[in-house]
Amino acid sequence: GYIYKLIHLLCLPEMKIFLDTTRLLAAHTDNVVDELWNYIEHGKIVPAAILLLAAQRRFRKLNGFDMIKNRIDDSIFSLIREGCGLQIGKNTKAAKQWKEKEVRFYNVLFLVRIILKAGEALDAYIQTHSENNMQASHHEVHGKVSAVLKSYDVGSLGKDICIEDLQCFPYDCGGPDGVLHEHGDTDLTKAATGSP
């Protein structure tokens, strides 16, 4: 549910400026794949999602999706090997950190695959509907984005996302420091702007 919520939030009209700005910056970044990997490795899922969605054309040209998927696969493999070596209880700090890393890498792999399959259609929706309708309701955006995801066979198979759970804060509202939560909320503005 976390990745679907994030994608729906990024498709809101008010997020277009972050995506456009990121697209321009990424166009002038030589090592954009390494920058994306840096975000992923440090658990910065929201900036990674913004960069991935905004600069997907560049990633496609550089074979960046395959490079990132390979790095994620390698990290998951290393985690599995590391997990086999953990001879400690489930509730220890090391086990919890291991689980957080595992969830983070699986979430990012899921995100990368969604953007790889449906990213161009999502970007077309964002460009078209953000310019024509800055006042689109969250409900309308949710419906259209869900339809795009389903048409590319990457839509949610579980329960639908609750519209009331979608939040986009225009200012730093003092959200949690960590961006990744297994089922938590995210302060997109804070993460997108890199403000402390």
**Total domain count, the chain:** 1
Report the percentage of the chain scoring pLDDT > 70: 73
Structural domain of 20: 2-193
**Could you tell me if 6 and 186 are in contact, meaning their C-beta atoms sit under 8 angstroms apart?**
yes
Please report which residue ranges of the chain form alpha helices under DSSP H: 2-10, 16-27, 32-41, 45-54, 56-61, 64-85, 93-132, 138-151, 188-193
Query: What would the pLDDT profile of 96-146 be if each residue is shown by its tens digit?
Result: 888 899 999 999 999 999 999 999 999 999 998 866 666 778 889 999 999
Whether 59 contacts 52, CB under 8 Å: yes
Distance between CA atoms of residues 191 and 133, nearest Å: 25
